[in-house]
Amino acid sequence: MLPRVATGLRVAIAEDSVLLREGIARLLADAGFDVIATCGDADQLRAEIRVTLPDVVIVDIRLPPTHTDEGLRAAIDLRAAHPGLAVLVLSQYVEVGLAMQLLADSAAGVGYLLKDRISDVPSFVAALRRVAAGGSAIDPAIVSTLLSRRRRDDPLAALTPREREVLELMAEGTSNQGIADRLTITLRAAEKYVSSIFTKLGIPTTRSESRRVLAVLLFLRS
């Protein structure tokens, strides 16, 4: 067999269910990713990454041996050890607190998605590409939990329904172009919504989209 030529982004997968691991690997190969490693636990993943550094790592939050937070800890460690490495964490539950632990002080190259999202292949592949390119992908469930939170003197009440939609997409890590595509509006219109939201909520504006994600999440969480 001829050595495989890397045609796309290089991915490593850590997932203890063989069924899912192989399923994700096949899906990504179909989508043109180069799956360089599939691992059953966090230690194996660390060992693989010492040999070949991938562009992005997909890691299940619940891994052997204790099936508690091994995956999350591995993701946080890897991000600290390899600043350029993008990490997408998958889980059967999503928690605001865990998202914040994972992001720490930067949302660049971080994703945290419910496992169910994999089956929407185009969205999942888009999210993975975004994370690999230094963007972010925060699960809609986390964003909606934060948005639905009851507040006294709710500042979100000042937003129009359209602005709320834009805010939601921003918090999930969608770029201005992505927002424009999703809402079928012009890029310019999307930018206008974004700056209006920032003004209404009193969030300091930033040009970096990944920094924008963290700022919005912190605002919603406070």
Q: Smaller CB distance to other proteins: residue 125 or 133? A: 125
Enumerate the β-bridge partners of residue 56. 11, 86
Task: Report the nearest approach of other proteins to the CB of residue 58 (Å).
Answer: 13
Task: Report the nearest approach of other proteins to the CB of residue 109 (Å).
Answer: 22
- The site that binds other proteins (CB under 8 A) totals a number of residues, namely 35
Q: Smaller CB distance to other proteins: residue 59 or 180? A: 59
Q: Smaller CB distance to other proteins: residue 114 or 201? A: 114
Check residue 104 for interaction with other proteins (CB under 8 A): no
In what helix (H) or strand (E) does residue 13 lie, and over which residues does it extend?
strand 10-14
Q: 174 near 97, Cβ under 8 Å? A: no
Q: Smaller CB distance to other proteins: residue 80 or 121? A: 121
Task: Report the nearest approach of other proteins to the CB of residue 214 (Å).
Answer: 17
CB burial string 39-50: b at 16+ within 10 A, e below: bbbbebbeebbe
13 closest CA partner among 132, 42, 3, 196: 42
Q: Smaller CB distance to other proteins: residue 124 or 198? A: 124
> What backbone torsions phi and psi does residue 34 show, to the nearest 5 degrees?
-105, 100
Coil, helix or strand for 98?
Answer: helix
- Member of 1, 19, 51, 157 binding other proteins (CB under 8 A): 19
Check residue 152 for interaction with other proteins (CB under 8 A): yes
Check residue 69 for interaction with other proteins (CB under 8 A): yes
CA distance 169 to 175: 8
Q: What share of the chain is helix, strand, coil (3-state, %, to 5)?
A: 55, 15, 30
- Member of 14, 24, 103, 113 binding other proteins (CB under 8 A): 24
Most distant CA pair in the chain, distance: 65
CA distance 87 to 172: 15
- Member of 42, 56, 72, 171 binding other proteins (CB under 8 A): 72
- Member of 101, 185, 191, 203 binding other proteins (CB under 8 A): 101
Which residues within the stretch 36-65 sit at the binding site for other proteins (CB under 8 A)?
A: 62
